[in-house]
Structure 1
């Protein structure tokens, strides 16, 4: 038998194991009747202490617990949706040592949960966190996790309430991460779009009820204090009536103080436990101080009461928090829409082509090569190619384009696209986990990680601000207590309430979340935390040519032959060499070969910026620029450089026996290329064109677009060196490329954009991806960046100016407590509403 102290010390228990005492099996799960008197802890079976005060609601029934350890573990099991453990168990959980903190129900997440994915240097996951209020919550959770052994990185997005964690699986387990968050007063669980949406919905409803109660209390209290204000000190209000009014006001204030103000109390308690004063600390102190002083004055029948002030600033603060929560819901909407668009099932046609009857299977079980039936209105479960018909697909969620796109037989369809026309059969080319939509979801989740420099500064300033405010309030109280004791208490309350650290901490994340949502709806995914901030400061905009300023779909215009080479043979050899390449020129050559290829290439090797080499039917070939082909075919006496029409690209084919052919391909400029270049030139940016194509073709494109600085014949290393030289000279470089062979320079640039495609999404090195494929989106992002930075500066300036004016005014006694509460609420509301403006398209 354990005494009560032992329960508290060892009150952490693992899951099913050895019996905790005689007859443990009789108490398992469902066998414990809700109506029978509890004789032991519902989790571990140990006797309940005399003053047992811990319980957990399991399956709509309050179950007694012997200690806070059991209550914490049981609550965690319920929170992650594993209540069935208690219904199905046959034994109580065994008591455990301090290092056995996590039951098997949490350990289920250690290896089995697919939402905990492997990454380059460990494992990573996105978690939803309940109860986030301000930057202090973010700092507290991040600091707690960073103290855990094995946790490599922890970033919490206050706008979407999503926590991104990366850890070493050899040193840390996901279950320990979930528990560490809970230990500081918050609940975390693996991200699920449906549950996350329900969580936000519950939070809105709860806050709405608290707001309603606070508003009702405020209106009723105002009715009872109005006679006192109207009568003033002229003695027309009888003392007995005045006392009755005070007692009535006290009773009407209780619901607001005891229920509506709960969010502030919880936030302050969590902050104090972690010894990190957050914004809820001064608010709570103000409420408690004002109500306590009013309660004492009512009991004694003399002195000032502040019931109207208390109810009013609780109501006003809840109003600003309600606006903030609604802004969070909208900011999280983009990720939720993507998760909801990912279909959970698909109709697999196992007997194709002999049979066309399908069976519904989980989308996760689809393999490459499976044939699926996509009905009208259904979302495609995985990337695939159409097999038997043409149809239109709605890809607005992926690219931002509202008009359905016609897809013909043999064309690729991205996972997540919605069939807007007829039922079609398609062959899976990438699994559901690796589909375009899944890649996009991972990038969107990654977009919430990290914080720009200005946000880090605001978080740090807000954290120091609260500490300084508490000291200042204490000094103000001391001064007024010496100068005019009657005013000391109201002044201290006003100082505590009037400050608004939340305006500082919300100024940046709310604006960035609103801007990110706006960009995603326009087909731009900003992945890097510094994207908007750095793009706004960029001095040089560097463009790639093929697939960026041009359409990226060159067409074979002409084939020039050398010697007795045959056109069809040369085209088929070139198509075989390019079959596995994703470069636009490669696709053009592969498309030029009609029908299936009679030959295939082996030992294919790519030399970046120069070409391909490989074996076809036992013969060694090279395909690429003239210098590259000459390395195998030798010098060409007829002259390897062929003069084509302006804007054409020459690709040569040769073997050890000599030169075979020259392919002339032409790529049209994008319709929005000129307007995009003109925008950046008008904005005072230096526009540069870097291309691997010939200098002549590069100059032709530059002249057509009015670009003064152009350099052709650039290998990837040359582009990288050019950008690094600009940076060494003090330039801030924004790079726009196709994301295929520009990975190095995209990563090196201060901020970078990749033209979106299925392949580019999976290996994006850029800070932003243009999902719509529209070059004008770069200029649109620059406009959004300018507007976002303006809003952030406005928010920070407003929050700083407000606090610089309001706090001294309160300390000088110019503001009473209710005016201070109104000022704080209005300050927060101004910041949130100003940021929400960025969502307008």
Structure 2
């Protein structure tokens, strides 16, 4: 019979031998499971090894569920599983995780703080708005399962980000919150009715038995509110304390549980005060505020687009010259695929055979198709407008360009603003101060022999509860956002209005933002004997058969009926016989390929037209400006403005000249735009970026404030902080006005909330304020803050 060594922590058999070890009191000790190992490590790390030196019996065995959880997480270390979720960049790996169990910003701060302590972690950033975390780590020092286990240990549940699963988690949390609010609201009304009757003597002089009966009814009604509706506060406080820190839910939990259990004691022994109505009202008000915050976060995350929607699910894989449909994400390097006209390219690749025009507006934001021939690179998510291409796959699905742009966006979001860090630190100090005053008050009055020492401490916790302080900013922001919503302006982040007041530099995209992305004829150069009307009729007669965006510029003009032999030549324009005359339209810069010299009068033309070999006219094409661009720029003229576009030098310079912007840059890639904004920020500028395309997503994420149009790409909306739903640029100056007013209201609210706490604290500490007075004072303080914020609706 084999002798099994007992677990050093709990004493049970360590059946796995030396699988789980911890160094305790200078010796390597064996543990029975990772749970006991984790507990022992925590005891050692916190300098509490004397527990093992002086203990009289083994410790309690750790939760077996930890072992089960770790076994389940181990599957994420499989390379075949990581292939879909993890991006490897040399020795550094990166993943997006969905997080369930997050209730407020303090949760994100706690996860970041605890995870950053893990050896091997390079960076961790929690996006509380989207309930997601971006984690990068050194893969040779740490495994993915260890990272996820570290998050599990502090009470949150991670999983690789998947859009469908993420939405399911939100719906589950949403239903649970509604149930808790519904129960709390219903029970609070009942308990308040009884309390009001007693306080204001509506039932006459109550006998002791009747008063006791009312207390028992209130106890029964309050219990589910305290232990079901209020459970989230206790869980949050427990997670913080477990991580050796405090958050705003710690004093809230202490006040709720202490008030409830003191009420239970007073009810059972029929001696002392009960404040069940205060507990219920407190929980109900806090739950409502958390629910509103939760909904706002979901609205912000709801617009987030899954990048895979831009990639088709299937691809035409060529195997021995036969087409086999296959999943796009299963394509491997050097696979050969076929892409027909009208299809979306499933993955980045190199053109082996064929030629086509590719719509790359998904990536560049520009509406002109790009000519692609043998040897050229094409990108997943772009659309083949004409021709058939045979491609060789040059990158894995997760490294496709659209996914690289999405990762640039996430990395830009990983940098936390200073204001967020300061808020985290302030809230922690505020909570510690509240706990200090409450404990100090209790100790002082208890030493004085005052029987109400406990209630004085409770009054301090309730009176100084940061409800008004907590509402000071959110209430002003909520009403400011409501005002903006009526104007067709949607804010995705609540701190955008504050940041707007600091913006001093505007960066503008061109195509689709300042312009409509629609080609129009801005000038016509006629060097023939024919009239302009006749020439436009000839042009439209040919262009009516073309699918090129340029053809739309001629769509409003009449056509001749006798049109035949239409020809389209990739990169060389269109031609046809119109009324027995050979008509050609082509780009002026491509005339050399036709062995033709463009006349000097037509040099500034975008496209030129020949009839029977003779140049007759040229057309200058331009993108149509949005009608409110000039008004917006005039009202924001005090700020520095830069036009940043991926379009050609000629087109950008024309638009810049028309709207009066002297500072402009053309032919800018997504990386170029991102670098430009980063340089501005390094020079201590606060940048607002306006863009609408997927190519703008990284720079939108990097900007201090990002604005996009309602008609913009979904990924641009994901990165943006502000969405102009009606595509009205004229609303941007109004947004700045509201931001200034909102900042004023926030200052007024903060002054009142802090002033109230300063005034009420001496009253609570001195015992003048009872718990029910503290609840009423807290409520009135909150109401004053809200009423002041309502004025932002005007």
When normalised by structure 1's length, the TM-score is: 0.60
Q: Is the 8 A contact 2:445 2:453 kept in 1?
A: yes
What SS does structure 1 have at the residue aligned with 2:306? helix
Following the alignment from structure 2 to structure 1, what is the Cα–Cα distance between the partners of residues 65 and 218?
38
Q: Is the 8 A contact 1:746 1:752 kept in 2?
A: no
Following the alignment from structure 1 to structure 2, what is the Cα–Cα distance between the partners of residues 744 and 307?
58
Cα 1:226–1:679, aligned 2, differ >3 Å: closer, same or farther?
A: closer
Q: 1:68 is matched with which residue? A: 62
Deviation of 1:370 (Å)? 2.5
What SS does structure 2 have at the residue aligned with 1:132? coil
Deviation of 1:671 (Å)? 0.6
Following the alignment from structure 2 to structure 1, what is the Cα–Cα distance between the partners of residues 772 and 75?
49
Q: 1:338 is matched with which residue? A: 306
Deviation of 1:137 (Å)? 2.3
Following the alignment from structure 2 to structure 1, what is the Cα–Cα distance between the partners of residues 401 and 290?
37
Q: 2:585 is matched with which residue? A: none
Deviation track 1:310-362 (CA, whole Å, cap 9, x = no partner) reads: 22212222222222222222222122x4368466832637589997xx73535
Say whether 1:671 aligns with 2:665: no
Q: 1:748 is matched with which residue? A: 679
What SS does structure 1 have at the residue aligned with 2:95? strand
Cα 1:435–1:186, aligned 2, differ >3 Å: closer, same or farther?
A: same
Cα 1:312–1:122, aligned 2, differ >3 Å: closer, same or farther?
A: same
Q: Is the 8 A contact 1:540 1:685 kept in 2?
A: no
Q: 1:294 is matched with which residue? A: 263
Q: 1:193 is matched with which residue? A: 163
Deviation of 1:305 (Å)? 1.0
Q: 2:611 is matched with which residue? A: none
Q: 1:242 is matched with which residue? A: 211
Cα 1:806–1:3, aligned 2, differ >3 Å: closer, same or farther?
A: farther
Following the alignment from structure 2 to structure 1, what is the Cα–Cα distance between the partners of residues 669 and 733?
18
Deviation of 1:645 (Å)? 8.0
What SS does structure 2 have at the residue aligned with 1:118? strand
Structure 1 unmatched runs, 5+: 19-40, 45-65, 83-102, 560-583, 585-592, 599-623, 625-641, 651-663, 717-736
Q: 2:569 is matched with which residue? A: 595
Following the alignment from structure 1 to structure 2, what is the Cα–Cα distance between the partners of residues 4 and 14?
11
Deviation of 1:685 (Å)? 2.2
Following the alignment from structure 1 to structure 2, what is the Cα–Cα distance between the partners of residues 228 and 816?
16
1:704 to 651, 658, 672: 658
Q: 1:122 is matched with which residue? A: 92
Cα 1:525–1:343, aligned 2, differ >3 Å: closer, same or farther?
A: farther
Q: Is the 8 A contact 1:150 1:172 kept in 2?
A: yes
1:6 to 8, 16, 20: 8
Deviation track 1:712-744 (CA, whole Å, cap 9, x = no partner) reads: xx999xxxxxxxxxxxxxxxxxxxx66476665
Q: 1:277 is matched with which residue? A: 246
Q: Is the 8 A contact 1:795 1:831 kept in 2?
A: no
Deviation of 1:283 (Å)? 0.6
1:154 to 106, 121, 124: 124
Following the alignment from structure 2 to structure 1, what is the Cα–Cα distance between the partners of residues 458 and 510?
63
Following the alignment from structure 2 to structure 1, what is the Cα–Cα distance between the partners of residues 207 and 436?
41
Q: 1:313 is matched with which residue? A: 282
Deviation of 1:410 (Å)? 9.0
When normalised by structure 2's length, the TM-score is: 0.63
Following the alignment from structure 1 to structure 2, what is the Cα–Cα distance between the partners of residues 523 and 119?
39
Cα 1:457–1:710, aligned 2, differ >3 Å: closer, same or farther?
A: closer
Cα 1:340–1:833, aligned 2, differ >3 Å: closer, same or farther?
A: farther
Following the alignment from structure 1 to structure 2, what is the Cα–Cα distance between the partners of residues 278 and 490?
23
Q: 1:463 is matched with which residue? A: 428
What SS does structure 1 have at the residue aligned with 2:126? strand
Following the alignment from structure 1 to structure 2, what is the Cα–Cα distance between the partners of residues 281 and 146?
23
Following the alignment from structure 2 to structure 1, what is the Cα–Cα distance between the partners of residues 633 and 496?
16
What SS does structure 1 have at the residue aligned with 2:140? coil
What SS does structure 1 have at the residue aligned with 2:247? coil
Following the alignment from structure 1 to structure 2, what is the Cα–Cα distance between the partners of residues 644 and 687?
37
Following the alignment from structure 1 to structure 2, what is the Cα–Cα distance between the partners of residues 15 and 675?
75
Structure 2 unmatched runs, 5+: 21-31, 36-59, 526-549, 551-566, 573-588, 590-598, 608-617, 682-686, 714-723
Q: Is the 8 A contact 1:160 1:328 kept in 2?
A: yes
Q: 1:371 is matched with which residue? A: 338
Cα 1:547–1:14, aligned 2, differ >3 Å: closer, same or farther?
A: farther
Deviation track 1:21-49 (CA, whole Å, cap 9, x = no partner) reads: xxxxxxxxxxxxxxxxxxxx9999xxxxx
Deviation track 1:374-426 (CA, whole Å, cap 9, x = no partner) reads: 99xx99855899999x99x9x9x99999xxx999999999966999xx99998
What SS does structure 2 have at the residue aligned with 1:278? coil
What SS does structure 1 have at the residue aligned with 2:99? strand
Following the alignment from structure 2 to structure 1, what is the Cα–Cα distance between the partners of residues 346 and 474?
33
Following the alignment from structure 2 to structure 1, what is the Cα–Cα distance between the partners of residues 603 and 449?
87
Cα 1:807–1:289, aligned 2, differ >3 Å: closer, same or farther?
A: farther
Cα 1:265–1:753, aligned 2, differ >3 Å: closer, same or farther?
A: closer
Structure 1 stretch displaced more, 543-552 or 449-458: 543-552
What SS does structure 2 have at the residue aligned with 1:451? coil
Q: 1:628 is matched with which residue? A: none
What SS does structure 1 have at the residue aligned with 2:461? helix
Q: Is the 8 A contact 1:320 1:825 kept in 2?
A: no
Q: Is the 8 A contact 2:263 2:274 kept in 1?
A: yes
Q: Is the 8 A contact 2:412 2:698 kept in 1?
A: no
Following the alignment from structure 2 to structure 1, what is the Cα–Cα distance between the partners of residues 416 and 223?
41
Q: Is the 8 A contact 1:125 1:165 kept in 2?
A: yes
Q: Is the 8 A contact 2:472 2:753 kept in 1?
A: no
Cα 1:466–1:802, aligned 2, differ >3 Å: closer, same or farther?
A: same
Q: Is the 8 A contact 1:752 1:766 kept in 2?
A: no
Q: Is the 8 A contact 1:349 1:373 kept in 2?
A: no
Q: Is the 8 A contact 1:400 1:523 kept in 2?
A: no
Following the alignment from structure 1 to structure 2, what is the Cα–Cα distance between the partners of residues 475 and 311?
26
Following the alignment from structure 1 to structure 2, what is the Cα–Cα distance between the partners of residues 7 and 648?
84
What SS does structure 2 have at the residue aligned with 1:812? helix
Cα 1:323–1:16, aligned 2, differ >3 Å: closer, same or farther?
A: farther
Deviation of 1:285 (Å)? 0.9
Deviation of 1:270 (Å)? 1.6
Q: Is the 8 A contact 1:344 1:364 kept in 2?
A: no
Q: 1:348 is matched with which residue? A: 316
Deviation track 1:554-613 (CA, whole Å, cap 9, x = no partner) reads: 999999xxxxxxxxxxxxxxxxxxxxxxxx9xxxxxxxx973689xxxxxxxxxxxxxxx
Say whether 1:202 aligns with 2:177: no
Following the alignment from structure 1 to structure 2, what is the Cα–Cα distance between the partners of residues 372 and 281?
59
Following the alignment from structure 1 to structure 2, what is the Cα–Cα distance between the partners of residues 161 and 742?
28
Following the alignment from structure 1 to structure 2, what is the Cα–Cα distance between the partners of residues 362 and 691?
34
Q: Is the 8 A contact 1:126 1:191 kept in 2?
A: yes
Following the alignment from structure 2 to structure 1, what is the Cα–Cα distance between the partners of residues 396 and 491?
22
Structure 1 stretch displaced more, 470-479 or 690-699: 690-699
Q: CA RMSD in A?
A: 6.3
Deviation track 1:762-791 (CA, whole Å, cap 9, x = no partner) reads: 899963596867997877667656656765
Say whether 1:497 aligns with 2:462: yes
Q: 2:753 is matched with which residue? A: 802
1:680 to 633, 636, 639: 633
Structure 1 stretch displaced more, 455-464 or 785-794: 785-794
Structural mapping, 1:458-607, within 5 Å: 458-477=423-442, 485=450, 488-499=453-464, 501=466, 536-541=501-506, 595=569
Deviation track 1:408-445 (CA, whole Å, cap 9, x = no partner) reads: 999999966999xx999987798754557545644554
* Count of residue pairs brought into register by the alignment: 645
Cα 1:752–1:209, aligned 2, differ >3 Å: closer, same or farther?
A: closer
Deviation of 1:290 (Å)? 0.9
Say whether 1:213 aligns with 2:183: yes
Cα 1:136–1:425, aligned 2, differ >3 Å: closer, same or farther?
A: same
